[in-house]
Structure 1
Amino acid sequence: MKSFNFFVIAIFFVITSCTIDKTDYEAEIDSEVPEYYEFKEAVSLTSGIYKISIEALNGTFYKGYNELHLKVINTQTNQSLNTSEVTFLPVMTNADGSTNSCPHQYNLEYNAANGYYNGYSLFTSESVTTASWKLYVSFTVDNQKYEINKDVSVEKQSNKNLNMTAFAGKDNEQYFIALVSPQKPTVAENKLVAGIYKYNKPTTPAGTFPDPSQFSYSEVTGYTLKLDPRMPEPSMGNHSSPNNQDLTQQSDGLYHGVVNYTMTGNWTLNLIMMNQNGLILKGTVVPTDFTPGVEGVKSELYIDTLF
C-alpha cells in the first residue's frame, strides 16, 4: 500500500511539474552559465622600477568571491620578488564620501610552487556611478616600503552558482557567505565550497587613511553551515534531494560540503549557520510540505543558485 501511495505521489509530481505555469523562471533557466578557469591580469600598478600584477579568473573582478594571484616584478631585471611583505586592501567610496571594505586577505602569502602571492577578495557590490572601488597595495624591498593604489572596476556576477549574501547574526556580528564552487554544477552530487567571513569591529580610533584596522575581516573558524537545498518554483513544489552534506571548515579555511542537484533549474540553498558551540546565529528550518502551485518557503538564511 505504501508503495502504491508513493507511486501516486510521484505521478502527481510529474504531472504538476509539467502543467503548472513556469513563465517567471523560463528566462533564467534558458540563460547560459559562464565558466572560467584561466587566470589573467585584471589590473597592474607601478611604483618606480616595480610593477604589481594582479590576476583573477577571466581577468575580471566580480561581485562575490575572487581568488587573486599577485606578482611583484622588478622591471629592470624582469624578476619576480619572493621575499617581500605584501599587503592588499580593497576600499569602496560612496557618493557621500563614506568608505567601507569587504572580506579580503590583507597579508598575502607567497606560493613558491607557482611563483605568486595568494589572496582573495569578496567584493560585496559591483562598481556603479555612486560607488567605486580602489585597491591599496604595499610591499617592502630592502627595508623600503612602497605603497600604491589604483581604481578598479568590479563587474556583476552573472553566474548564480557563485552568489553571496551578507547579514547580521544573532550575536550582532556582520557576516558574509560566498559560494566558491562549483561554477557549473551537474545533475549529481556536487562538491560545494563556500567562504564564511566576519567583519572585525574596530577597537581603536581611525589612523591615517586607509587604516587597515578600520577595514578588517577574518575567516570564521569552526562553524557549521547546515544545508537543505530545494527547488522553490511553484512547478517544483519546493522538493529537496537526498545525500546532501553540511558544510564544515577544511584546512584551506573554506567550508566544504555536498549538494545533490537532481535536475537542472532554480535551486535555493537553505542554510542554518551554527557557531563552534552549536548555537544558531542565522537560519530557520524549511517546512517539508510538498507545495505544487505555490512558491516554496525559504530559510531566514539562503542563497539562490541556477544551472
Structure 2
Amino acid sequence: MKKVLFFLIAVCFSVVSCTKDKTDYEAEISTVVPEHYEFKEAIAISIGVYNISIEALNGTFYKGYNEIRLKVMDNQTNENVRASAATFLPILTKEKGDKISCPHRYDLVYQQDDNYFSGYAVFTDESDKGNWKIYLGFTVNGQRYTVTQGITVEEQTNKNLNMTSFTGKDDEQYIIALVSPQRPKVAENDLVAGIYQYYKPTKPAGTFPDPAQFSYSEVNDYTLQLDPRMPEPSMGNHSSINNKDLIQGDDGLYHGVVNYTMTGNWTLNFILLDQKGKIVKGTEVPTDFTPGVEGAKSELYIDILF
C-alpha cells in the first residue's frame, strides 16, 4: 500500500513539474501589468526650418499596436505649421539584409482640432531583431520634404497588448494585434483588436523606399469569433458567459466583449471568418472541463494576463 502511495505522489510531482516547465503560471501571475495613457514625444527630428515631433504612449514604441501622433512645427517660433500629405513608412532591415515592413497607416490623417497627424504602426519585432527606420514625408506650401530616422522598438511587457501573425487557409499573411483594454477588470470588458493583411507586391520595385512594396491594409468586414479560457491546469480550461465576437467598427478596428471572471492567465481563442463566413484560421476548443491538465487552444489564439 505504501509503495502505491509513494508511486502516486511521485507521479503527481512529475506532472506538476512538467506543467511548470511548460508554463510557469505562478511566476506570470506575479507580474506587474503596466499601463500607459499619456502621449509623450518618442522622436524629435529637424529638417530645414521645421521640427518634427512624433508622440506615442509613454514616449516609447513597443512591439504590437502603437498609435502615433506627428506634429510639424516651425523651429524658430515652435508653432504648428500647416503641413499636408504627411506619410509614414516603417521598415525593418534584418541581419541578412532583408527589408520588411509592418501594418501601418501610410497616409496620416490630420486632426484639425488638435493640430497633429494621426496614424498607427503594429511593430512585429523588437529592435534586437534588426534595424528599424521610419521614412517620413510632408508638404508645406507646395514643397515636399522627406526624412529618415532610426527608431527603437521595445518589448511589450503588457500581455493584454499581445499580437500574433499567421498564414490563413487562403495563403495570405495576417496579423492580429490587441489594442485594449490595457488592464482588464473582473467583469465584461470591451475588447478591441486590429486585423491586418499583407499584400504581396504586384509590380517591380520603384525608387526605395517604394511604399507599394511594403503594403498592409486593415481587413474589412471579417468576424473574429471569441472563446476565452483559463488554460492553467487548476482552472480546467473553463470559459465564461456573455462574450461577444469582434466585428469591425467605423474606426477600422474590431470590437467585441470578453468576460473575465477572475484575474490570472487567460487564452483568447479565435476563429477568423471572412466576409462569406469561411474560416480563414482557427479551430473550436473542446468544452470539456480538464482539471490538472493545461488547457487546449485554438490554432489561432493570443495569451493575456491581468
Query: Is TM (by shorter chain) over 0.5?
Result: yes
- Cα contact 2:82–2:140 (8 A) shared by 1: no
Greater displacement, 135-144 / 261-270:
135-144
> Which residue of 2 is the match for residue 161 of structure 1?
160
> What is the correspondence of 1:149-188 to structure 2 with a 5 Å cutoff?
149-188=148-187
> What is the correspondence of 1:1-307 to structure 2 with a 5 Å cutoff?
24-128=24-128, 130-307=129-306
1:88-143 CA-to-partner distances (Å, cap 9, x unmatched) read 00000011111000000000010012111010000001111x51100100111122
Hey, what's the Cα distance between the residues in 2 that align with 1:82 and 1:182? 34
Deviation at 1:289, TM superposition (A): 0.3
Give the 4+ runs in structure 1 shifted more than 3 A: 20-23
> Which residue of 2 is the match for residue 13 of structure 1?
none
Hey, what's the Cα distance between the residues in 1 that align with 2:99 and 2:68? 22
- 2:84 is paired with a residue of what secondary structure? coil
Aligned-partner residue type, residue 256 of structure 1: H
Greater displacement, 142-151 / 249-258:
142-151
- Cα contact 1:45–1:149 (8 A) shared by 2: no
Report the identity percentage: 67
- 1:134 is paired with a residue of what secondary structure? strand
RMSD of aligned C-alpha atoms?
1.1
Aligned-partner residue type, residue 186 of structure 1: K
Aligned-partner residue type, residue 115 of structure 1: N
- Cα contact 2:83–2:138 (8 A) shared by 1: no
- Cα contact 1:82–1:110 (8 A) shared by 2: no
- Cα contact 2:172–2:198 (8 A) shared by 1: yes
Hey, what's the Cα distance between the residues in 1 that align with 2:151 and 2:216? 20
Deviation at 1:48, TM superposition (A): 0.5
> Which residue of 2 is the match for residue 17 of structure 1?
none
Hey, what's the Cα distance between the residues in 2 that align with 1:33 and 1:285? 29
Unmatched segments (≥5 aa) in structure 2? 1-15
Aligned-partner residue type, residue 134 of structure 1: K
Hey, what's the Cα distance between the residues in 2 that align with 1:44 and 1:198? 30
Unmatched segments (≥5 aa) in structure 1? 1-19
- Cα contact 1:88–1:107 (8 A) shared by 2: yes
- Cα contact 2:283–2:300 (8 A) shared by 1: yes
Hey, what's the Cα distance between the residues in 1 that align with 2:95 and 2:211? 21
Equivalenced residue count is 287
1:180-213 CA-to-partner distances (Å, cap 9, x unmatched) read 0000001000000000001111110011111100
- 1:40 is paired with a residue of what secondary structure? strand
Hey, what's the Cα distance between the residues in 1 that align with 2:30 and 2:96? 39
1:40-63 CA-to-partner distances (Å, cap 9, x unmatched) read 000111110111100000000000
Hey, what's the Cα distance between the residues in 2 that align with 1:77 and 1:85? 22
> Which residue of 1 is the match for residue 3 of structure 2?
none
Deviation at 1:84, TM superposition (A): 1.4
1:216-237 CA-to-partner distances (Å, cap 9, x unmatched) read 1100100000000000111110
Hey, what's the Cα distance between the residues in 1 that align with 2:235 and 2:109? 45
Hey, what's the Cα distance between the residues in 1 that align with 2:95 and 2:152? 16
TM-score where L is the length of structure 2: 0.92
- 1:27 is paired with a residue of what secondary structure? helix
Hey, what's the Cα distance between the residues in 2 that align with 1:81 and 1:248? 37
Deviation at 1:155, TM superposition (A): 0.1
> Which residue of 2 is the match for residue 3 of structure 1?
none
Deviation at 1:81, TM superposition (A): 2.3
